[in-house]
Structure 1
Amino acid sequence: MKKIGLVLLSWVVFSCNSNKSSEADSGQTASSNQTTKTASVTYNNPVLPGDYADPSVVRVGDDYWATATSSEWAPLYPILHSKNLVDWETVGHVFPEKAPAWADAHFWAPEITYDNGKYYIYYTAKKKGGNLCIGVASSTKATGPYTDHGPLVCQEVGSIDAFPIRDEKGDLYMVWKEDGNSQKLPTPIWGQRLNEERTALIGERFELFRNDPKTWEGGLVEGPFILKRNGYYYTFYSGDACCGRGCTYGVGVARSKTLRGPWEKYASNPILKQSDTWKCAGHGSIVSDAQGRDFYLYHAYQKDDFVYPGRQGLLDEITWGKDGWPQFAKNAPTATAAAPFNQNAPDIYSLIEEFNQKTLAESWQWPVNQKSNYQIKPESNGQLVMKASPAELGTVLAQRTLTGDYTTTTLLDKSSLSNGATAGLAAIGDNSNAVGVSVSKGDLVLWSVKDNKVTTLEKVKAPTENTVQLKLTARKGNKLEFAWSTNGTAWNQLNKGQAIDAAYLPPWDRGVRTGLFAKGPVNTTATFDWFKVENLD
């Protein structure tokens, strides 16, 4: 059994470490009464299983708070909580209902910080009619609600990956990457003063450093995180190709006595890249526990499942050499390591949603451009009623996949379909790429969508019973099989026993989702009784 971590689907539990970092101290240790036993318990990476790219973490007291990239899936920017850095629970979102008014896509690379009683989320998004910009939102509580302060910088080729830092005088600055690689240009890491209200950059910008294409950095450096230690600023950054099958990502570090430089890149870069289990490690943040230990929360692809679950969240400890440079364990990115608080995360074997709560669990997602059109009916022994949409895939509700090998099943009330509505179960890359099975009053259809082109793979008569169970089985992430049943025991195999090749599903920056859909006129609905994902051996 792959050890991933138990989710009874109202709550997804993850694993992670604790530390308080703030804009005032940029990652320095905070006071705490918490003590740590000698580590004799281990945890398994990933601590954030599934698609949690560009994770960021901060410690406030004894609480750890994290967030990660959402890309084109809402609700935007999950807020995760942990007491031990390995068990994580999603407790909210920065933008739970709708995107900021100024933005419409590419919700990437959030950075969570804490300063003077407020939490700040610096995030990247595509401006409506424009390019990538950096915005910021704030709240007096980690769980929100957050107030958006709008975009801070929008360069012609795009601005991304913000990090706030106070200099030696205590003045607030923002550091970020100019997205030159999108136009085959260099990628400077810039710094500029930021007002205390976080509403505007002030003064003149200056360059910290940029990518050297003749080295491991290749076409870019990005994802800066700055840590103050022993008279130096250390910038941890990522380089080369981040995502997809051709990824070559890694982590480097540079240091300087002052924020403005000069910056010295470590001669032994990259300090983190791949291991026997993980590849293309990068874009993370550092959190220090109450004892002063430093931990790096970052993402990587698992070699076995690779792109299908997406870039997953890993945790590894940073130690410091006598020369003052940071280092990771020789086997990092690790598969297993000593648990920071002598606790480990439970294994996730299944995810079950019976729709018997008043709201959906925080782990459910839907496309950014779609409203969350659903109603929960716990009084009806638990039912999910989805309002249909005439869009290509209809209305979608989905879950991250946590491994390449899984089975998803659901029970659909066929009698709830009317006026041409269809509903069913699918594996989803994005709105333009999916594979699924649809049920209508009269037919059961297996289909695929690739680059917006719909292909019917198989069509059979729908059963006469009022309810039908649907099943999707995935192997190695891209080999999909579908079946249906009226009793959950006798299954009728679709796709004629031949697995569907769904290697095309995940976009370059995302993992595959599995979930439910309802398609049809806007006044139609579909009702589901339960939804289950079982991760396989």
Structure 2
Amino acid sequence: MIVSWVGNDAHRGGKDAEFLTEKPVARGRLFILRMLTLFAAFIMASASLLAQTDGTLSSPIIPGDHPDPSIIRVGKTYWTTSTAGNWAPEFSLYRSEDLLHWVSAGAIFQHTPEWADRDFWAPELVSDGGRVLVYYVGRKRGGGLCVAVATASTPDGHYEDHGPIMCQEDGSIDPAFARDESGKPFLIWKEDGNSQGKLTPIFAQPLAEDLIHVAGEKTQLIVNEPESWEGGVVEAPYIMRHGGKFYMFYAGNACCGTGCKYAEGVARADHLLGPWEKDPANPIIRPNGAWKCPGHGTAVHTSQGKDVFLYHAYPTSGFAFLGRESVIDSIEWDAQGWPVVNQGRGPGTLRAGVKLAVGMSDSFPGTKLDGEWKWPIGHEPDVQVASGALTLTLPEGASQSFVARTLLSPTYKATVEIPAEGGVGLIGGAENDVTLSRHDGKLELWSVERGQRRSLWTMDAPAGALWVSVASMTPGEAGFSYKIASGAWIHAGETVNLKGLLPWDSGMRIGLVVDGKAGDQASFRQFLVTDQAAK
């Protein structure tokens, strides 16, 4: 099903984040003037709760958890995908004609590639030579993190997976593609040294002409400077050309979770293999009152001849529980030839007049599950959609099974009708969730943390059709309730603290859950999520 992201206004706001500043490299009066200009712009952005866009763009482009985004333009159509983490089907696709209105377009992989079992990160879309490639990260079964590649004839076509092409001992992540000054193709990536307490170099290595095999020797382009704003990490390279030079956008510092310190920097070179010079004004994208920890993006040249940058950031409202949203801003070029994103004000926000859907509904029409529903990799559910109902059957060897969707706003209420058995839950992952469900004549609120189930509240279940709900007005807390027919909502247990369920690298999800023994079934009708703050 194609879902258009147009609807109610989103709500943003919050407190500024702090940053280490890089030690400046003297460049005379022009450098000092540029630093003062950028500093003034940063202060102006920090003073405002909502940093504005350039008036033609709007952020987030799609509500919810869509980190490490990549974007390409094929003809007049833009395509984007983002990190899947440990959720399948991997790498959701969206398309747009104007960068404002996006519709879902399936996923790159309908089935998890056999060579990997988790950590599907940082897909990089490439349109080159009349075909589309996606370089991506996965964790090899029984091994480490690798860069792999898949190809298709069109962005929404069938992708043929070619498996891993770069697997270093410390891990290889965050791939990108570039051609050097002579047109020779290169794979660009980060060696994941920080996972082993080491420095994190970004490398380039030639690709064969088929673009799916590496050739030659690797060359280090840049490495993190631990005493600077970069801290223990540089990663997420993206290389573009402008004015005869190569520009590498890259992210630095801690990416994820409540302790993140992410930001975006840039370096430039006359030749792809260097030497590379980092911008003394780094980081060029910093947090502001609306967004935290911005970084990891891709540029695209628009059909109007402008450069824009798509990257992710945490909304200050909802923060880690909502996840990292995809934001977009304009790139301009200053007198010294350095890029300036959104005039140095940090990530922009919703364009005036643009409305963003922060609610969702599914009446389960037809016979196919909507593509926005996901499940943990290795835990594919037994799903049937028919006659306006979703039915989940519990597989052998499982104590619970579910499908889940990303949150779209920091305040929400999700409701669903349960004709017989089943429940609604907030999902952190395959072994972390809290659920209110009816099963074997009982209505029970229970949680699973690291695979260990604990009952929080229980009662004899009412007979007949039942509606259950989960709602949150405060990030990190949620309350569950139930009702029968046209009756009033009744609280089920006490407010639940969600901090122990939160993944380190993604937001929470709303799930429909079946539990019990193998073969047990749960059916669901009329799933609805509303934004509580919009009321």
- How much has 1:13 moved relative to structure 2? 2.1
Q: Which residue of 2 aligns with 1:399?
A: 405
Classify 1:149/1:140 alpha carbon distance in 2 versus 1 (closer, same or farther; 3 Å): same
Classify 1:362/1:12 alpha carbon distance in 2 versus 1 (closer, same or farther; 3 Å): farther
- How much has 1:261 moved relative to structure 2? 0.4
- Residue 151 (structure 2) pairs with residue 142 (structure 1): no
Q: Give me the whole-angstrom Cα distance separating, in 2, the residues matched to 1:424 and 1:405.
A: 20
Question: Which secondary structure state, in structure 1, belongs to the residue aligned with residue 71 of structure 2?
Answer: strand
Mapped contact 1:10–1:360 kept (Cα < 8 A):
no
Classify 1:269/1:41 alpha carbon distance in 2 versus 1 (closer, same or farther; 3 Å): closer
Q: Which residue of 1 aligns with 2:491?
A: 493
Q: Which residue of 1 aligns with 2:518?
A: 522
- Residue 100 (structure 2) pairs with residue 86 (structure 1): yes
CA deviation string 1:266-300 (max 9, x = no partner): 01000002011101000010011123211111000
Mapped contact 2:285–2:344 kept (Cα < 8 A):
no
Q: What TM-score comes out, normalization by structure 1 length?
A: 0.88
- Residue 60 (structure 2) pairs with residue 46 (structure 1): yes
Q: Give me the whole-angstrom Cα distance separating, in 1, the residues matched to 2:256 and 2:280.
A: 25
Q: Give me the whole-angstrom Cα distance separating, in 1, the residues matched to 2:293 and 2:399.
A: 32
Aligned counterpart in structure 1 of residue 199 of structure 2, from 172, 175, 186: 186
Question: Which secondary structure state, in structure 2, belongs to the residue aligned with residue 181 of structure 1?
Answer: helix
- Residue 107 (structure 2) pairs with residue 109 (structure 1): no
- Residue 478 (structure 2) pairs with residue 480 (structure 1): yes
Q: Give me the whole-angstrom Cα distance separating, in 1, the residues matched to 2:515 and 2:194.
A: 39
- Residue 270 (structure 2) pairs with residue 261 (structure 1): no
Mapped contact 1:133–1:158 kept (Cα < 8 A):
yes
Size of the aligned set, in residue pairs, is 487
- How much has 1:337 moved relative to structure 2? 4.5
Q: Give me the whole-angstrom Cα distance separating, in 2, the residues matched to 1:173 and 1:330.
A: 30
Q: Give me the whole-angstrom Cα distance separating, in 1, the residues matched to 2:121 and 2:83.
A: 5
Classify 1:390/1:484 alpha carbon distance in 2 versus 1 (closer, same or farther; 3 Å): farther
Q: Give me the whole-angstrom Cα distance separating, in 1, the residues matched to 2:91 and 2:188.
A: 20
- Residue 370 (structure 2) pairs with residue 361 (structure 1): yes
Q: Which residue of 1 aligns with 2:11?
A: none
Aligned counterpart in structure 2 of residue 237 of structure 1, from 235, 246, 250: 250
Matching of residues 301-320 of structure 1 within 5 Å = 301-320=314-333
Mapped contact 1:175–1:189 kept (Cα < 8 A):
yes
Q: Give me the whole-angstrom Cα distance separating, in 2, the residues matched to 1:144 and 1:397.
A: 25
- Residue 517 (structure 2) pairs with residue 511 (structure 1): no
**Runs of 4+ with >4 A deviation:** 39-44, 390-393
Aligned counterpart in structure 2 of residue 272 of structure 1, from 280, 285, 289: 285
Question: Which secondary structure state, in structure 2, belongs to the residue aligned with residue 85 of structure 1?
Answer: coil
Identity fraction in percent: 37
Which amino acid in the other structure matches residue 480 of structure 2? Answer: F
- Residue 460 (structure 2) pairs with residue 461 (structure 1): yes
Question: Which secondary structure state, in structure 1, belongs to the residue aligned with residue 272 of structure 2?
Answer: coil
Q: Give me the whole-angstrom Cα distance separating, in 1, the residues matched to 2:201 and 2:217.
A: 15
Mapped contact 2:177–2:187 kept (Cα < 8 A):
yes
Mapped contact 1:54–1:298 kept (Cα < 8 A):
yes
Q: Tell me which moved more, 348-357 or 455-464.
A: 348-357
Which amino acid in the other structure matches residue 493 of structure 1? Answer: H
CA deviation string 1:487-519 (max 9, x = no partner): 143222111xx3111122221101000010112
Tell me the C-alpha RMSD between the 2 structures. Answer: 1.8
Q: Which residue of 1 aligns with 2:88?
A: 74
Mapped contact 2:237–2:250 kept (Cα < 8 A):
yes
Matching of residues 440-459 of structure 1 within 5 Å = 440-459=439-458
Mapped contact 2:471–2:478 kept (Cα < 8 A):
yes
Q: Give me the whole-angstrom Cα distance separating, in 2, the residues matched to 1:390 and 1:370.
A: 11
- How much has 1:389 moved relative to structure 2? 3.2
- How much has 1:357 moved relative to structure 2? 2.5
Q: Which residue of 2 aligns with 1:387?
A: 393
- Residue 63 (structure 2) pairs with residue 65 (structure 1): no
Q: Which residue of 2 aligns with 1:35?
A: none
- How much has 1:305 moved relative to structure 2? 0.9
Mapped contact 1:149–1:198 kept (Cα < 8 A):
no
Q: Give me the whole-angstrom Cα distance separating, in 2, the residues matched to 1:366 and 1:396.
A: 7
Classify 1:41/1:239 alpha carbon distance in 2 versus 1 (closer, same or farther; 3 Å): closer
- How much has 1:12 moved relative to structure 2? 4.5
Matching of residues 195-214 of structure 1 within 5 Å = 195-214=208-227
Classify 1:529/1:81 alpha carbon distance in 2 versus 1 (closer, same or farther; 3 Å): same
- How much has 1:461 moved relative to structure 2? 0.4
Q: Which residue of 2 aligns with 1:34?
A: none
Query: Is there any run of 5+ residues in structure 1 with no aligned partner, and where?
Result: 1-8, 16-38, 339-343, 418-422
Which amino acid in the other structure matches residue 527 of structure 1? Answer: S
- How much has 1:239 moved relative to structure 2? 0.2
- Structure number having the greater helix percentage: 2
- How much has 1:520 moved relative to structure 2? 3.1
Mapped contact 1:483–1:492 kept (Cα < 8 A):
yes
Mapped contact 1:10–1:353 kept (Cα < 8 A):
no
Q: Which residue of 1 aligns with 2:14?
A: none
Q: What TM-score comes out, normalization by structure 2 length?
A: 0.88
CA deviation string 1:76-102 (max 9, x = no partner): 001110011121111011111x21110
Mapped contact 1:393–1:431 kept (Cα < 8 A):
no
Q: Which residue of 1 aligns with 2:301?
A: 288
Q: Give me the whole-angstrom Cα distance separating, in 1, the residues matched to 2:146 and 2:73.
A: 27
Mapped contact 1:150–1:199 kept (Cα < 8 A):
no
Q: Tell me which moved more, 312-321 or 486-495.
A: 486-495
Mapped contact 1:316–1:332 kept (Cα < 8 A):
no
Q: Give me the whole-angstrom Cα distance separating, in 2, the residues matched to 1:391 and 1:60.
A: 45
